[in-house]
Structure 1
């Protein structure tokens, strides 16, 4: 064979190898994931968001067939972790598994974050705190309506405990607005921790507390539930929703939910790889649908709800508008 023929053969062979390699690469595009995935928790280790992320990561490894590691990037009320996540590759190797609300919204509104809600593709809000209006059990009022009317008749007398900047605080303001009142008409007492705010209500130092319902369970014998700040009643509490409680007024207030633990992807990941996004969402849904896994989560007081991308995004977006209004009024 001549040298020219050998060169021609080598060129043809090289083209064939390249074509084959390209075909293999194209053929494996739908085999995602084929490498380790990282869950970024934008809060510290040991908290509810961290525990949720680690348990979900362990279970989703079985669904996706690749290892999932969890890293914590805390600081700035979640802002550090959000920024870290958004700077990671958007090919489906990184997901934000954290308290996706209201931390992202608060960072945007209060810290002038360079990102927006549109930079995230929310997959699911798995476990959401719903605020509970809980009154000291020794008070004579039988409903939220009775309590608020008494507060209106006695300006500045009723003491309400909240955590500064919490959804409980804003839910309190929303109910006060419904009764034509402002925070100046009651005595709002702030505590740096939910535990302290609840203890104050249980011990009678304040009349009412507005905080996450799950965290109020330990003091159930010392308080009387008046309403839950959500769209649905909670099985653990014999109390109506806030809007059910407000029916005598003929008005409604928007539902502002508390901390929502869940997972978000890069918005660009969903746009560029819609099949991968759907595959991840399906794996997440399947994990939560596993009865044994859901039971394990329940034992650790962790929720296993599947809202899905559309409903999760709707809640976060509508809540953002509420948070924005109160931020602008400060």
Structure 2
């Protein structure tokens, strides 16, 4: 039997203690991850996806035992970031925090992307956004009825902050058609992202904004919500829904579905690593401390899981394909 001195015993005890302290997910699954994990955010800093990734990162890296590095690759309506992500290995050391809808359908339907929506697999999309028509507190506009009245009399009478080729644009056009407003006369002011469009709306740079409602939560004291494009109230906004105004058959496109994704091919090429990542994201998403932390930042944490998250993306892609003419500006 080999003799062990006191230093050897202490060293082994320290190693055992470190193993016991290691994240449960990491101990259960072995070596993965073996290096820092890059989180590709296909948008510039400051937007919802960027804030979501950075808020989750400290908790997720603790669960996985490796640092998370946020990589912002904004531009071309997320096309540049999504393309960059698809060029990375599907080994789980590069993951994605994105708005799977509407941006993946937009990339494929009108931007000539070299990938398909099905090439992406969403593990969880906790943020299920919705278009909201909004105005600044001091514009004098207090209801959607006022907006309809003004735009019917003169479609160019109000400036509208919006992102081009977006689900918000589709909703604005469908709203115009439903209310007898001349869509060709609408006066749009376009922005490259939701953050700039919201800031312009809250600052009364534009008369009204058509942007994702969840991103307005930190600006709630500066804006007046006018209309929520959903079938039920959302996030406590004091505004009617599109079905309140136009009935249960009202046609609209769901808003951004934001969350965590991987390469679809990873499920077959590295199923064990995928399972580790899935368990880590689910565990973190359900952690009461994480939920409290993110809710304080007006960020979503709800766990929907892969089946629901991918089904929601597919449904949105199908609806957007039906309205591709609006997306293309015809």
Change (3 A) 1:209 1:76: closer
Change (3 A) 1:103 1:273: same
Q: Determine the structure 2 residue equivalent to 1:77.
A: 77
RMSD: 3.3
Q: Determine the structure 2 residue equivalent to 1:35.
A: 34
Give the 3-state SS of the residue equivalent to 1:77 in structure 2.
Answer: coil
Q: 113-122 vs 269-278, which deviates more?
A: 269-278
Say if 2:128 and 2:258, in contact at 8 Å, map to a contact too. yes
Say if 1:143 and 1:245, in contact at 8 Å, map to a contact too. no
1:264 offset after TM fit, Å? 0.9
Q: Determine the structure 1 residue equivalent to 2:10.
A: none
Give the 3-state SS of the residue equivalent to 2:108 in structure 1.
Answer: helix
Change (3 A) 1:278 1:225: same
Q: Which runs of 4+ in 1 moved over 6 A?
A: 136-142
Q: Which has the larger radius of gyration?
A: 1
Change (3 A) 1:58 1:138: closer
Is 1:318 paired with 2:315?
yes
- What is the TM-score when the length of structure 2 is the normalising length? 0.75
Structure 2 counterpart of 1:300, from 294, 297, 302: 297
Q: Determine the structure 2 residue equivalent to 1:171.
A: 171
Change (3 A) 1:299 1:209: same
Say if 2:243 and 2:249, in contact at 8 Å, map to a contact too. yes
Say if 1:178 and 1:253, in contact at 8 Å, map to a contact too. no
Q: How does 1:1-330 map to 2 (within 5 A)?
A: 30-31=29-30, 33-36=32-35, 37-134=37-134, 144=144, 146-147=145-146, 150-151=149-150, 154-156=153-155, 158-165=157-164, 166-184=166-184, 187-192=186-191, 193-195=196-198, 197-199=200-202, 202=204, 206=207, 208-217=208-217, 220=220, 224-247=224-247, 251-258=249-256, 260-324=257-321, 325=324, 326-328=326-328, 330=330
Task: Give the distance between the partners of 1:67 and 1:138, measured in 2 at CA.
Answer: 45
Q: Determine the structure 1 residue equivalent to 2:11.
A: none
1:54 offset after TM fit, Å? 2.7
1:240 offset after TM fit, Å? 2.9
Alpha-carbon displacement from aligned partner over 1:265-290 (angstroms, at most 9, x marks no partner): 11111234445434422321221211
1:222 offset after TM fit, Å? 6.5
1:82 offset after TM fit, Å? 1.7
Task: Give the distance between the partners of 2:85 and 2:217, measured in 1 at CA.
Answer: 34
Give the 3-state SS of the residue equivalent to 1:101 in structure 2.
Answer: helix
Alpha-carbon displacement from aligned partner over 1:39-65 (angstroms, at most 9, x marks no partner): 222233444323322332321123233
